[in-house]
Every structure is written in C-alpha cells, then in structure tokens.
Amino acid sequence: MLNPQLNKHGELQHLLTIEGLPKSIVNHILDTASSFVGISDRDVKKVPLMRGKSVFNLFFENSTRTRTTFEIASKRLSADVINLNIQASSASKGESLLDTIDNLSAMHADMFVVRHAQSGAPYLIAKHLIDTKQPHVHVVNAGDGRHAHPTQGLLDMYTIRHYKKDFTNLTVAIVGDILHSRVARSDIHALTTLGVPEVRAIGPHTLLPGGLDQMGVRTFTNMDEGLKGVDVIIMLRLQNERMSGALLPSAQEYFKSYGLTPERLALAKPDAIVMHPGPMNRGVEIDSAVADGPQAVILPQVTFGIAVRMAVMSILAGNQG
C-alpha cells in the first residue's frame, strides 16, 4: 500500500506521522513555520490562506491544550473552526468513526484534526478519504494512541533548530515514559530524519519499549549517565496510570531517579536546553527550579507550536491530491 500521507505528486496530502516523511518535506514545514512566527506581533494576526475553509477538530480523547492551539492556528489562517468532542463512549453507542467522517464530509469539511486513543485511527480516516475520492480533504494527526504526535515532533524540531541551528552535531536525550509516549516516537523519527547523530532514551526498564535500537536510539536506565554532555533534554510527562499498572511504585521514587533537578541538569552541556511537551508535573519529572530556569524553553515551544501548526495546515490546504 502506498504511503497514504503523500499524494501521487509526492506532496503532503495528510500529516499522520513523521516516520517516512522525506527530509525535504520536514524542512519545508519548518521553513514555512518561521514565516508564521512573526504574525503574532502584528496588528492583524491573520493571513487569508484558509479563508472560507472549514477545519473540524475531532477529539476522541480529551485535550484542551492541543485543541486550543489547533484552533488558534486555524483562526490565524482565517479558517472556520468547528470543535467536536466525541468521548469514546458515545462513539461506541452511536456512529462508527467512518460514519462520523462521512457525515462531516457531507457538511463540506476541508480538514480534520484528529486526536484518538487508538494508534492508527487517523490512517483509517485517511484511507477512507482516498477510497471515497476526496482529495481536497486533509487529515492532521493530533495524536493517535501511542503511535505519533507529528505536530509536536515538528514543533520540538523547530525549537531545537531555533536554539541550536545545526542538527548534525547534537546529542538529544528523551526522558521518561517512552513506552506510552507518542511524542517520544515522533521526536525520535524527526531527530533521526534531520540527522541528529545521537538520540538517547532514558527511563526505567518498565517504561522503555523494545526495539528502540532499531529506531536508532541509545537507551540508558541511569539518568546521570544518560545526561552527560547532552545538548537537548526533552522531558516527558509521567501519567498517574503508570503507578496503578505496576510499572512504577510511586511518583516520589520516580523523581528520585529520573526527575530533572538542577544537579542533573548540570551534567549536560552548560548551554543545554530543556524542553517539555506539557503539561508539566512539577516535582514528578521536573524540578520547578529547572522548569522556571534560564535553560528551559518550554514556553517558546508553545509559541512555536502555533506557527508550526499553521505551516502544516497551510501546506496541506494547498495540496490538492
């Protein structure tokens, strides 16, 4: 089956995952994003690129933050935004996912921004749109299960490029629950695509998935070892469910071995940057002193996130399949 993300001209038709995207497309998105960053400083914080287009935010998994940033990005492109919060339970009582898509397409949706608890859900939608010959409708994956969160991966890359310029001489560490993290997977694919020579995953064995070496990642269970000489630290959020699934005993013990404290940060390069996809669990994965410190670039990530999402959506909207 041909990669459903690219149309027959090799252009981006849907953004489902960073894995398998040509480096040129990743760079195009980052370059376009830099043009969008300045728009927030203007009087009129909009460009007319998606005027008259309807963007449907289909969130099967709750997320006010991500949905809000997509909404802001859409509105800055002058698109109309409709938010649909479909809780998983109501979907199982009622319409199937594809029926929902068909109904919304009949209302002339131009773009679906989809977040779903199941890995692969956006692919089902993209394949359905291809099968029903709707080349003008695009899907943006806003996070599917554990599989991918491509816009987060892209904005993380934008952030790294902003502060570090050259990917090809960096050491990047991703810390935390890699097993359950779609952000980690997208970051790993983006980093390896952009030529980062050393990507490290740091966490306890229970939170490290198998097969990381095949993805080009060096694993560390000792955080002090893993942070030595690192240029970029990406901290992942630890969810409460991990304690109930017998994966970890407690948040306190986790912080003791894997929390990013100022002492641990000092093991990295002196100009290392600290990133976090948010929302942060202060005192669980990251110390407040670090989160609020000069090396943290967590708030700029949010700003860049809007520009990156504007770039993704406008590039997709311009490709007709």
Partner 1 sequence: MTTLHIKNGHLIDPANGIDGLQDLFIADGKVLAVGAAPAGFVAGTTFDAAGLVVSPGLVDLSARLREPGYEYKATLESELQAALQGGVTSLVCPPDTDPVLDEPGLVEMLKYRAKTQDKAHVHPLGALTMGLKGQSLTEMAELTEAGCIGFAQAEEPIEDTTVLLRAMQYANTFGYTVWLRPQDPHIGRGGIAHSGPLASRLGLSGVPVMSETIALHTIFELMRASRARVHLCRISSAAGLELIRAAKAEGLPVTCDVGVHHVHLTDADIGFFDPNARVTPPFRSQRDRDAIRAGLFDGTVDAMCSDHTPVDDDEKLLPFGEASPGATGLELLLSLALKWADDYALAQPQAGARPLARAVAKVTADAARVAGIPAGSLAIGEAADICVFDPAARWTVSSSSLASQGKHTPFLGYELSGVVKATIVAGRVAFQR
Partner 2 sequence: MSNLVNPSQLDAEALYRVLLEQVRSGLAGASNVAIVGIHSGGAWLAERLARDLDLTARLGVLDVSFYRDDFAQKGLHADVKPTKIAFDVAGATILLVDDVLYTGRTTRAAINELFDYGRPAKIMLAALVDRGERQLPVAADFVAAFTAVPPGQALVLKQAGDKFTLTIDTHHA
Interaction site with partner 2 (CB under 8 A): 11, 28, 31-32, 34-35, 37-38, 42-44, 46-49, 314-315, 317-320
Q: Name the binder of 43 from partner 2, partner 1, none, CB < 5-8 A by kind.
A: partner 2
> For partner 2, which is the closer residue by CB, 163 or 267?
163
Binding site for partner 1 (CB under 8 A): 1, 3-4, 19, 96-98, 116, 118-121, 123-124, 127, 144-148, 182, 185, 209-212, 214-215
Least separation in angstroms between CB 32 and partner 2: 5
> For partner 1, which is the closer residue by CB, 146 or 276?
146
Q: Name the binder of 288 from partner 1, partner 2, none, CB < 5-8 A by kind.
A: none
The H or E element that residue 87 is part of is none
Instruction: Say how many residues make up the chain.
Output: 321
Give 175-197 as a 3 state SS string. Answer: ECCCCCCHHHHHHHHHHHHCCCC
Residue of 300, 230, 235, 234 lying closest to 270 (CA atoms): 230
Least separation in angstroms between CB 31 and partner 2: 7
Alpha-carbon distances, residue 190 vs 2, 13, 68, 175, 240 (angstroms): 21, 18, 24, 16, 27
> For partner 2, which is the closer residue by CB, 140 or 260?
140
* Strands of the chain, DSSP E: 54-59, 80-85, 111-116, 138-144, 171-175, 198-202, 217-220, 232-235, 273-275
> For partner 2, which is the closer residue by CB, 24 or 244?
24
Beta bridge mates, 274: 233, 296
Q: Name the binder of 35 from partner 1, partner 2, none, CB < 5-8 A by kind.
A: partner 2
Beta bridge mates, 234: 174, 275
> For partner 1, which is the closer residue by CB, 21 or 260?
21
